[in-house]
Amino acid sequence: MNQIRVVRSFVAADALADLIAADYKLEEPVRCQMFSKMVRTQDNDHYLVTTGSGEKFVVRVYQLGTRLDRQESDYLYEVDWLNFLHNAGLPVSYPIPRADGGLLSNLNAPEGLRYYALFSLAPGRPMSIKNEEQLFVMGREMARIHLASNDYEKSYERQPMNLEFLVDKPIERIKQYWDEDRADDLEILMISAEEAKEEIEDLIANEEYTPDGWGPIGGDFHSGSVFFTDDNQPTFFNFDWCGPGWRAYDIAVFLFNTNLIHNSSADLSEAFFAGYYSQRQLSDNEHAAIAPFLTIRRIWQTGLFSMNDGLVGHTFIAPAHN
């Protein structure tokens, strides 16, 4: 019988527990339980890890790297940066070192080599986008992450979130899936993309205008990627889309993901910006760049989902015609 190619698998929890027990200095027995999986997208698999002493962690098993053109260095950048932020006193879920001191492990899955890392467990519950105090804290801590990251000296390479990554490559993927019936939609999309690119190039692509505007960013902050305790202490996690990028894009992504920009209450978005400004001021160019970055985020997300099938991304631009 010929061997069948596998494109997506889930690691058995008990087998993963055995690997973790062998690789990390944790009190045994080590138990794993899967608590999130996304079959359709590029998302990773997460397992709750409980040790013999009752300590709890999260292990992330990354999707096959070839799907997102990622190499080992991309994953090492993520865990290394998070370790830096943790050591700098930022409230992030941080990688737990292996017994040998490393922060990244790998396993042989049916579809190929997959990497995994063990992280501290974020306490609390997802933030509420209707809570002004939490939004203030969210903005404040995002700015602190941006400021602290100015001192980060990278040891590994990671795909930068430049205009090629955010616009050009997504457009090429979308072209592969939008057929002639969507020619008008594609033309509108390409016009919007070109206009947004030109605005960004004029505003902040030149570091002369925003010397502090580029650096490590989270890349996908949303209400579900930060947990708050009852006394409103935050912990940021899920940095799968981190990397070098524009800080104004990081802000635009949060506004896009939470729909704050269209919320009927201006007090909510003002609370977020007040928190951000309490630590870091946006230049006029950065502030003006948020609007075109919102368009760019929509284009990027459409292209991302188009990697899997041509239907997923359609609703991000326009409803399909009957």
The CATH number for 310's domain is 3.90.1200.10
**263 in the same domain as 154:** yes
Residue 29: is the preceding peptide bond cis (ω within 30°)? yes
Q: Averaged over 152-169, what is the pLDDT?
A: 96
Note whether residue 195 is domain-resident: yes
Residue pair 92/86 in contact by the 8 Å Cβ criterion: yes
Give the model's confidence band at 317: pLDDT under 50 very low, under 70 low, under 90 confident, else very high: very low
Strand, helix or coil for residue 103? coil
* 247 C-beta neighbours (distance < 10 Å), count: 27
**150 in the same domain as 106:** no
Domain count, the chain: 2
**148 in the same domain as 56:** no
Give the model's confidence band at 118: pLDDT under 50 very low, under 70 low, under 90 confident, else very high: very high
**Model confidence at 309: pLDDT above 60:** no
**91 in the same domain as 240:** no
Spatial separation of the C-alpha atoms in residues 44 and 67, rounded to whole Å: 12
Map tokens 């704050």 to a residue: 260
Spatial separation of the C-alpha atoms in residues 131 and 234, rounded to whole Å: 13
Q: What residues pair up with 95 in beta bridges, in sequence order?
A: 119
Spatial separation of the C-alpha atoms in residues 299 and 196, rounded to whole Å: 10
**305 in the same domain as 232:** yes
Give the model's confidence band at 207: pLDDT under 50 very low, under 70 low, under 90 confident, else very high: low
Q: Averaged over 250-262, what is the pLDDT?
A: 93
**269 in the same domain as 192:** yes
**Listed residue (103, 78, 128) closest to 234, CA to CA:** 128
Out of 36-40, 71-75, 101-105, 181-185, least confident range: 36-40
Out of 11-20, 226-235, 260-269, least confident range: 260-269
- Domain termination site, one of 121, 145, 168: 121
Which pLDDT does position 1 carry in this prediction?
Answer: 66
Instruction: Write out pLDDT tens, residues 24-75.
Output: 999 999 999 998 644 444 578 999 999 999 999 999 999 886 767 889 999 9
**37 in the same domain as 116:** yes
Note whether residue 3 is domain-resident: no
Q: What residues make up the domain containing 84?
A: 13-121
| 99-105 own/partner pairs: CB under 8 Å, 24+ apart | 99/23, 99/24, 99/25, 103/76, 103/79, 104/72, 104/75, 104/76, 104/79, 105/19, 105/23
More confident residue, 157 or 9: 157
CATH value at residue 70:
3.30.200.20
Residue pair 299/252 in contact by the 8 Å Cβ criterion: no
Which pLDDT does position 40 carry in this prediction?
Answer: 41
Amino acid identity, position 39:
V
Global pTM reads 0.91
Note whether residue 101 is domain-resident: yes
Give the model's confidence band at 304: pLDDT under 50 very low, under 70 low, under 90 confident, else very high: confident
Note whether residue 215 is domain-resident: yes
**117 in the same domain as 155:** no
> Residue 138: which H helix or E strand, with range?
helix 132-149
Residue pair 79/152 in contact by the 8 Å Cβ criterion: no
Query: Phi-psi region for residue 125, left (φ > 0), alpha (ψ -120 to 50) or beta?
Result: beta
Note whether residue 2 is domain-resident: no
**Model confidence at 281: pLDDT above 50:** yes
Q: Averaged over 274-289, what is the pLDDT?
A: 95
Map tokens 């409230």 to a residue: 91
**135 in the same domain as 113:** no
Q: Which two tokens stand for residue 229?
A: 């305790």
Amino acid identity, position 64:
L
Burial class (CB in 10 A: 0-12, 13-18, 19+), 179: exposed
Burial class (CB in 10 A: 0-12, 13-18, 19+), 112: middle
Which pLDDT does position 274 carry in this prediction?
Answer: 98
**275 in the same domain as 184:** yes
User: Where do runs of H (alpha helix) occur along the chain?
Assistant: 13-23, 72-87, 132-149, 163, 169-177, 183-203, 247-258, 266-277, 284-305
DSSP-derived secondary structure letter, 100: T
Note whether residue 8 is domain-resident: no
Out of 132-146, 286-300, 301-315, least confident range: 301-315
* 265 C-beta neighbours (distance < 10 Å), count: 11
Give the model's confidence band at 305: pLDDT under 50 very low, under 70 low, under 90 confident, else very high: confident
**280 in the same domain as 166:** yes
Give the model's confidence band at 182: pLDDT under 50 very low, under 70 low, under 90 confident, else very high: confident
DSSP-derived secondary structure letter, 92: B
